[in-house]
Structures are given as structure tokens and as C-alpha cells.
Amino acid sequence: MSPLTPIKIRGKRGASEAEKWHSFKKRKVARNHDPECSTRDGTPASTVSTASCSKPSRERKAPPRELSKLEQLPTEILQDIFEYSGNLNLPFASLELKLQLCSKHMYLRLTTRTMRAVLGFARGTDRARAKDSDLAAASRLLNCRFMTFAFFRDWVEAEWCLTFTPTEDDRVRHDSRQCSTVPRLQAMLAQLRPSGALLPPKRAITGPWTSDNLGYLESIVTTCYIGKESPRYTEYGMTGLRRAVQDASPDALKGLFSMGLEPDPELIRFAVCSCACDLDVVRTILNENLLVVIRRPTDSPNAMEPVIDPLEPTLWAWAEHDRAAGGAKGKKLTGMLKAHVRELSQLQLDRSRGPIDPRVFATSRNRPRSPSQGTIII
């Protein structure tokens, strides 16, 4: 017997199927030979779902939408419908309507037609209040996004020229190169005589107090009024007051106070303790505190009670803390509060003699005090 054990060499043609090296390693051939469909863990391609392997087919373009009968109208007719209906949502119904209706020319036409219903009212008469529907439409228009200060200025100038047909002297007087923008707009609005019940634009009373928004406020301050009949606009105005304190804008405070808003103790605490005590802002708030007392009827139960107490401990504590830290504002704030106490005392003496005109008091409250009036020591 031979010492060598006979073996069969793999790979030979005569080897059986089980002896070949690639036995048991065959795998099914995937129908889709896309390399993106192969898996890293050796999972047969046939087990991969056809949804994940199939390439996205080219999307067919949707057929053009059939325009409605309104959209098929000529642009001139659409613009007339938009102007006469006053429907501010019409341009947003479709892209076709927006392209034909959203332009400065169309906005001027719409503003002219809507606002003329609330213009031409004499103050102090029965016609000072327009219809509620006209006032609501005008207020909604004034709060639109396109109603910026620049657009409002252009509309006022155009409406004034159409209403009064200015002469050459008027053109020179109202020329923007001859006078500033705000006084010119105030004079034009006063001649247009808007209704006393017309509410101001929200943008003009809430801030932020940039040069445009401040000019917007100062332009309408003599023609618009925020009464207590509209709590929502009163809240907008209080937001504008706080923003004016944050922006250190005494002009914005004066404008909002002129429109019927009143300061409160929280406002001066916010100005002193949270906004670094801007002295001009604090002085404006204290001056308005005096005017609020003057405007009250003499027979009211709290006729002489100020809205802001100048002896509030929070204000004095901040002033003492600032003085102890070496700041200059604490000493000045203390002097302003002491002077305000004296002014309130002087106001009480003046009101005991008779009614006081706020304009006269504003110019005469710094007059010298007589010895008989005494002094107040704090």
C-alpha cells in the first residue's frame, strides 16, 4: 500500500461539485444592477425593496390652472373693483390678482377713496364723528403694511393738492425744500380735518422710535386722539411709552401724552430703575404728571391727587444708591423730585383760587415764589 493518501485536487474538471472552492457561495443575481441599491451588510440585493431602489421618475409639469372669471377680467376693471370694494384681501386671493393690484398707484387710489369718508369734519360739531363702518375701514387701512410714513406723507400731499388746488404761494409755503416735513404735514392734515374719532395707525404709536416712526407720530399728534373708549389702542400706546423710555426719546413721550395717554407709577419706576434714569425722560414724565392734575375737574374726589407720587421710596432709594456709588444722576434726580413736590404744592394753591389753563401753567410754574407761600423742606 502506498504511504501517500490519494486526494482530489480542487478546481479540476473531474472534481465533484461539493469539492470545488466556490461551493455554497453562490448568490442570486440581482435584477437591478444599480450600485446605489447594494447594501453594506451583505444583504442580497433582491431583499431590498424596489421602492428604495427605483430612481425617481421625471415629474411631469402640472397643467396650467384655469383662471377664474374674475382673474380673466382686464386689469383696468380689476383695479376699479378693488378700489370700489375696498377689500384688502383681494390681492392675496391669487398670484394673478396680486400682480395686477399690488402697486403704489393702486394703493394711493384705494387710500384716497377710503379716507375721504372720514375727512372734512369740523371739530366741535355733530359731524365730528363719521360712520362706524367708515372709521373701521379707515383704521384697517392705516394699519396695513404698505402704510409707511413715506407713503402716508405722499398721500397727504396728493390729497391736499386735490382738495384745495394750491396757489403759487401755497406751493412755496408747503414745499419740502422750504420747511421741514412734520410741520408741513401737520398743517395739511389740519386743513383736511379728519374725524375726531379716527384712531391713529398702530405703527405710529408703538415704535420702535426711529426717525420715520417719530415723524409719523408727530405728524398725526394734532389730529388723532387715543381715548379710553378703545382699550386696545390704549394698550398699544402704553407699549409705545415703554419703548420710548427704552429708546430715551422724550419727543415720543410728549407726542403720546398729547394724544391722551397718561403716565403711571410703573412707567417712572421703569425709567429710573431699569433704563439708567435718563433725566430728560424723567423730566418729561414728571411734567405730564402735573398736567394730568390740571386737566381734572375741580369737583372730582381726587382732583389734587397726582398719578405719580414723587415721594415714592423706590425712586429715592435708587437716587441714594447712585449717589453712594459716585454717580451724578442720583443727585440730579433728588433735586427733580424735590422740585416736583414744590410744584404740586404750588398747583394746589393756584387751583384754590380758580381754574388753571394748562398752557398758562406750563409757562408760569417757574415764576418766583412769594414769601407768603412758604417753602417745603425735604
What would the pLDDT profile of 79-117 be if each residue is shown by its tens digit? 999 999 999 999 999 999 999 999 999 999 999 999 999
**Spans of the chain, pLDDT less than 70:** 1-2, 6-59, 122-128, 166-180, 357-378
Q: What is the pLDDT of residue 368?
A: 39
pTM for this structure?
0.75
Run of H or E including 343: helix 329-353
- Please give the pLDDT value at position 250: 97
Torsion of CA 272, 273, 277, 281, to 10 degrees: -40
DSSP-derived secondary structure for 272-307: IIIS---HHHHHHHHHHHHHHHHHS-TTSTTTT--S
Cα–Cα nearest to 185, from 216, 140, 146: 216
Helices (H), 86-197: 95-101, 104-115, 132-142, 149-164, 168-173, 181-192
Every domain of the chain and the residues it spans: 262-378
Q: Which of 323, 319, 242, 309 has its CA nearest to residue 281?
A: 242
